[in-house]
Amino acid sequence: MPKKNKHIFQIPHVWAFTTYFAEGFPYSIIRIISSVFFRDMRVSLEAIGLTSLFGIPWVLKFLWGPQVDQYGTKRKWMLLMQSLLVVMVIAAAFIAPLSEGVRIIAILFFVGSFVAATHDIAIDGYYMEALDEKGQAKFVGYRVMAYRIALMTGTGVIVTIGATTSWLTGFLCAGVLLAILLVYHFFLLPKVETESIPIHRLFQGMLTPKPLILVPILAVLFLFLRWLFSLDWVHQIGQSLPVLAKISFAGWIGIGLLVGLVLLTLFKDRLKGLLLRDRDSFYSRAFIAYMDRERIGVALAFIILMRTGESLLAAMASPFMVDLGIKVHYGWISGGVGLPFSIIGAVLGGWLISRYTLKKTLWPFLLAQNLTNVVYMLLAMYLYKFIVLNTGAETVVPIGHFNLFLVASVHAFDQFAGGLGTSVLVTYLMRTCLAEFKAAHFAIGTGLMNISGVLSGVLSGFLAGWLGYGVFFGISFLASIPGMLLILFIPFLDSSQKGERP
């Protein structure tokens, strides 16, 4: 724990909010706002679909997480990445009006996505360095709240400015906001770490022959995979198996991560000897240290499965609102009702975890999160006639004020329970991290947690279309049961374990 802070702006209540706002805001720009910008610039839907490639670094960030642990400090990495993000967003502002601006910004955002993903690694690592286990649980609500507010700021404020005035003004406002956060973090963010190896040593090492040869090899591999996915016979497979066609390129990378870790688990001893030939390899030790623990297979299964039901529901919640005939109300239901309840759930969840421990709160919080699926099932069945009348209709039949209130109440419960669930899930991921490899291990955990989202998003549309919303939401609850049952067997719940190897 750092020494007692002397300035009000250095207390965790403030910097836990600002750092995670700074984490969520670039994500909203690169992953969400970019799609609105490109469509506003009359880019084809097919080309906009390729922006899913921007998500690749968030799936692959575990690959360079060990470097963030080994070199410099998380604070230095954070400031460096924030500086690059400020430059990127302000550059996008002035490039936007140019005739070739769309292509340049697409390249800029693709490169920026690697910067933003590295920025995420640094912030997550800093949070775990600056706070002890109890503090991490206590302030997890602040980080979840800040991240969600950042997404709303991007999709609400910046999109509105860009669409109604100009994208130069919109991106410029975003860049100024990031710059203000950078200045605050530079001068007032507490220094809580001791630097082991100077960060410039990493960049010097990247100029040696091995890394320089690796770059073109990876580029060729990437181009080969893109070419492979463009072949006619691959498209024919996609047409015969629509589920596979729905998986994005980034999704396949996430599935590859899962397969790789399964193989690492099955052949752990053989691969351990191979990876640890170089005893000084921090990179190899980080991965082996994560996998070489008792009951780690159960922990990995829980991390992958714990959000399955929630992911299925989230993928179909918005289409459900549209088919119900209340798309014109979705904005105020989401922002005016959902966001406040989400924040309340996240903050309350963090406080309850710090007071009653993760072990006591994990089961009830996840149960509350997944009971939302049952509530949605009952709502869909109750309003079934409106779904039938309004799906695809040019003129919708009003569902009535009471039913609208009912939908808003269900959404409020969904977001509140989701805030509770997110608090315990993030706390558990932090508990699985070893002290020496905090950033790398959290990056692995978050990458695995997103796998169920990828697969659930692919299956949800087919299931909902085939079964109807009511039955689909019921099945999505059943899909959450394996993850909840695994709570009985997972390690790292007791504070005495602290994610350490036995």
pLDDT of residue 2: 46
Task: Supply the CATH classification number for the domain 1-197.
Answer: 1.20.1250.20
Q: Is the pLDDT of residue 5 over 50?
A: no
> Residue 416: is its pLDDT beyond 80?
yes
Q: How far apart are CA 112 and CA 446, in angstroms?
A: 20
Identify which has the larger pLDDT, 266 or 330. 330
Average pLDDT score, the chain: 83
pLDDT tens digits along 433-451: 888 888 888 888 887 787 7
**pLDDT for the residue numbered 90:** 97
Domain 269-502 sits in CATH 2.50.20.10: no
Residue 188 near residue 2 (C-beta atoms within 8 A) = no
Are both 1-197 and 269-502 of the same fold? yes
Note the pLDDT tens digit of each residue in 334-387: 778 888 898 899 889 988 998 888 999 999 999 999 999 999 999 999 999 999
Measured between alpha carbons, how far is residue 166 from residues 94, 107, 266 in Å?
11, 21, 54
- From residue 74, give the alpha-carbon distance in Å to each of 70, 77, 80, 303, 465: 10, 5, 10, 24, 46
* Average pLDDT estimate for 412-428: 91
Q: What is the 3-state secondary structure (H, E, C) of 113-138?
A: HHHHHHHHHHHHHHHHHHCCHHHHHH
End-to-end CA distance of the chain: 24
Sign, Cα dihedral of 198, 200, 203, 207: negative
The stretch 176-205 carries a mean pLDDT of 88
Please tell me the predicted confidence (pLDDT) of residue 86: 98
pLDDT at 65 over 50: yes
Q: Is the pLDDT of residue 498 over 60?
A: no
d(Cα 106, Cα 104) in Å, to the nearest integer?
5
Among 308, 305, 303, which residue's Cα sits nearest to residue 477? Answer: 308
Q: What gap in Å lies between CA 422 and CA 418, rounded to an integer?
A: 6
**10 secondary structure, DSSP code:** G
- Name the phi and psi angles at 303, rounded to 5: -60, -40
CA 205-206-209 angle, 5° bins: 90
CA 399 to chain centroid: 34
Which range has the worst mean pLDDT, 62-66, 234-238, 483-487? Answer: 234-238
Provide, rounded to the nearest whole percent, the portion of the chain with pLDDT above 70. Answer: 80
Q: Give me the pLDDT at residue 243, please.
A: 58
The four Cα atoms 111, 117, 123, 128 give a dihedral, to 10 degrees, of -150
CB atoms within 10 A of CB 239: 10
- What pLDDT score does 339 carry? 83
Q: Which of 58-62, 149-153, 414-418, 480-484 has the lowest mean pLDDT?
A: 58-62
- What is the pLDDT, as a whole number, of residue 458? 63
More confident residue, 502 or 325: 325
Express each pLDDT in 85-136 by its tens digit.
999 999 999 999 998 899 999 999 999 999 999 999 999 999 999 988 888 8
pLDDT score, position 263:
64
Domains of the chain, residue spans: 1-197, 203-228, 269-502
Is the pLDDT score of 3 beyond 50? no
Instruction: Say which residue, 36 or 48, is predicted with more confidence.
Output: 36
